[in-house]
Amino acid sequence: MYAEDKILIGCNESENVFLLPKLANRHGLIAGATGTGKTITLKTLAESFSDMGVPVFLADMKGDISGLAKIGSETEKIKTNVEKYDLAAKGFKYQAYPVEFWDLFGEKGLPVRVTLSEMGPTLLAKILNLSEAQTGVLNIVFRVADNNSLPIIDLKDLKAMINHVVENKAQYESEYGAIAEKSANTILRSLITLEDQGGNDFFFEPALDLNDFIRLDENGKGIINILDAQKLSLSPEIYSTFLLWMLSELFENMPEVGDMDKPKFVFFFDEAHLLFDDMSPEFGKKIEQIVRLIRSKGVGLYFISQSPADIPDDILAQLGNRVQHALHAYTPKDQKAVKVAAETFRPNPNFNTADVISELGIGQALVSVLDEKGVPTVVEQVDIVPPQSYIGAIDDAMRAELINLSELKPKYYEAVDPQSAYELLLNKIEEDSNLESEVVPETKEAIEQAIEESHEAPAEPAPQVEEPAQEAPAQPAFGLGDILGTVLGGGQPANGKKAKKSETQKMAEKAVAQAANTAAREVTKGIMRGIFGQMK
């Protein structure tokens, strides 16, 4: 709840715990076991940022976050906490919030699309779980496409480019290095799996413009962008890679703003462990660098997961504002997770943090935030302030109505298939085919005329003179074998003896040389086989 120009996260009998807006971009963590209240905390923070005039992005993994779009209703528990902590006097009121629904599959929100060129080979290799060698081939494919102005928009573009590079590997290997056909085939097979997971819908145009996430409504409230992830959660590689792409795009494109009174944009990463599963050390270092530096661009990042242990230590160290819900220590692994979580807080002398983590009720949490000097406060056990919007999911009719009313619907609703690598390569094949059709008739006519000349009657011998001259060696008849040798063998008859070429034979040789750069050579051979069969 936004109160006193600060975000009220939770309360107890003696303390109100506030998150300071100017330190909200120092990032945060919301952790806890399933069913302990993480979603309530997420909604309370999202509402507070919206009231503060800060746009928000978050993923709806179960559908219940959509209730942000509907006016809240009183429950017994909410009523108790509102009265207990006098929240009405602080500004608590039931209300709806401005939301924009998005969906990678275009079913429960505006379609979210990204071009493969924007995604790039590094993140795409993560989706496809490629090896180092396979990633190298993918890098070559993207580099060839870039150097030849062949944009890779969708999956059919990428498949066309892979086939093009393999078919012309002799041309590209001297510049780009070895191109293993086995790796290329593995990538093509992986793309089939990606298609089955919805890749044909996701990789397309119009591509998402992240500036459309950073908007305010007519009342100055930040738009809450909700990505429906119920179906997407079944494709964790696409989900995690999309969020990482968004993070990279924000980092690369947003300007430096330094320290601000409040963030420009807040990004919640739900199911954060999916982002870091099987992540290479090199990629992890890049993400750690982005998390560390993106705050200077006015972006706050909040990771949501069951345990702090799900987050790499280098990234966890950057998360200054922390909300820890209950963790249950049923196994040795759980006990270790509780210990790790307790050690991330500045101790409170009034209680043992590790003991309290296991005893927290639903909607309760341990909270520590950064103070005015940027120092973590002593951890406090609090009741999380309830959300002012509806707790639960909205119905499909209300969702559809809100999507239809969106000012962004005309921009994103209809897919566009522009001319890209697939179409450009197809045009090139058609041009080569047209060239072939122009060369073949000339070649056929020259060959037929050469054969006709070879069967003409031999010239009359020269008359004898009185003084015998040295007789020239007899010239063999120029038969079909010689024509084959001349036309298809580079000017030599099949019997290996040189023969004088007629103008017609020269024209035939020239025509075949033109055809050699296209598939016309095969057509020419077919013509010869047909003619040979007729002569038999």
Q: Is residue 31 part of a domain?
A: yes
Residue 532 pLDDT > 50, yes or no? no
Residue 534 pLDDT > 50, yes or no? no
Q: Is residue 472 part of a domain?
A: no
Q: Is residue 460 part of a domain?
A: no
| Tokens standing for residue 6 | 């600060």
Residue 221 pLDDT > 50, yes or no? yes
Residue 381 pLDDT > 60, yes or no? yes
Q: Is residue 448 part of a domain?
A: yes
- How far apart CA 265 and CA 250 sit, in angstroms, is 10
The answer on 11 and 135 residing in a single domain is no
Q: Do you find a cis peptide bond into 386, omega within 30 degrees of 0?
A: no
Angle at 182 between CA 181 and CA 185, to 5 degrees: 85
The answer on 485 and 363 residing in a single domain is no
Average pLDDT over residues 48-63: 95
Give CA separation, 171 vs 174, 290, 485, in Å: 7, 38, 29
The answer on 217 and 74 residing in a single domain is yes
For the chain, what is the domain count?
3
Q: What pLDDT shows up at residue 518?
A: 46
Q: What pLDDT shows up at residue 427?
A: 87
Q: What pLDDT shows up at residue 250?
A: 92
The answer on 488 and 382 residing in a single domain is no
Q: What pLDDT shows up at residue 8?
A: 97
Residue 188 pLDDT > 80, yes or no? yes
pLDDT band, residue 491 (cuts 50/70/90): very low
The answer on 144 and 88 residing in a single domain is no
- Kindly report the CATH number assigned to the domain that includes residue 100: 3.40.50.300
- How far apart CA 70 and CA 292 sit, in angstroms, is 35
Q: Is residue 395 part of a domain?
A: yes
Please state at what angle helix 421-454 crosses helix 503-515, rounded to 10 degrees: 160
Average pLDDT over residues 2-18: 94
- How far apart CA 66 and CA 433 sit, in angstroms, is 55
Average pLDDT over residues 514-520: 48
Residue span of the structural domain in which 188 resides: 116-200
Residue 379 pLDDT > 90, yes or no? yes
Q: What is the mean pLDDT of the chain?
A: 84
Q: What is the DSSP string of 438-465?
A: HHHHHHHHHHHHHHHHHTSPPPPPPPP-
Q: What pLDDT shows up at residue 332?
A: 85
Q: Is residue 190 part of a domain?
A: yes
- How far apart CA 478 and CA 379 sit, in angstroms, is 102
**Single residue among 140, 171, 200 that ends a domain in this structure:** 200
Q: Is residue 169 part of a domain?
A: yes
Q: What pLDDT shows up at residue 198?
A: 82
**Single residue among 145, 177, 200 that ends a domain in this structure:** 200
| Least reliable range by pLDDT among 122-136, 304-318, 516-530 | 516-530
pLDDT band, residue 506 (cuts 50/70/90): low
Residue 2 pLDDT > 70, yes or no? yes
Q: What pLDDT shows up at residue 56?
A: 97
Residue 459 pLDDT > 90, yes or no? no
Which one is predicted more confidently, 329 or 495?
329
**Single residue among 178, 200, 222 that ends a domain in this structure:** 200
pLDDT band, residue 180 (cuts 50/70/90): very high
**Strand boundaries in 61-105, DSSP class E:** 99-103
The answer on 332 and 319 residing in a single domain is yes
Average pLDDT over residues 422-432: 84
Average pLDDT over residues 274-298: 86
| Least reliable range by pLDDT among 23-27, 60-64, 146-150 | 60-64
Residue 455 pLDDT > 70, yes or no? no
The answer on 192 and 72 residing in a single domain is no
| Least reliable range by pLDDT among 8-12, 105-109, 427-431, 445-449 | 445-449
The answer on 102 and 19 residing in a single domain is yes
Q: Is residue 470 part of a domain?
A: no
Residue 256 pLDDT > 60, yes or no? yes
| CA count, 13 A, side-chain hemisphere, 198 | 21
pTM above 0.75, yes or no: yes
The answer on 133 and 271 residing in a single domain is no
Residue 485 pLDDT > 70, yes or no? no
pLDDT band, residue 99 (cuts 50/70/90): very high
- How far apart CA 209 and CA 114 sit, in angstroms, is 9
- Do residues 205 and 183 lie in contact, with contact meaning Cβ atoms separated by under 8 Å? no
Identify the helix (H) or strand (E) that includes residue 143.
Answer: helix 132-147
The answer on 108 and 123 residing in a single domain is no
- How far apart CA 450 and CA 510 sit, in angstroms, is 13
The answer on 165 and 105 residing in a single domain is no
Residue 120 pLDDT > 50, yes or no? yes
pLDDT in tens, 237-250: 888 889 989 999 99
The answer on 335 and 242 residing in a single domain is yes
Residue 487 pLDDT > 50, yes or no? no
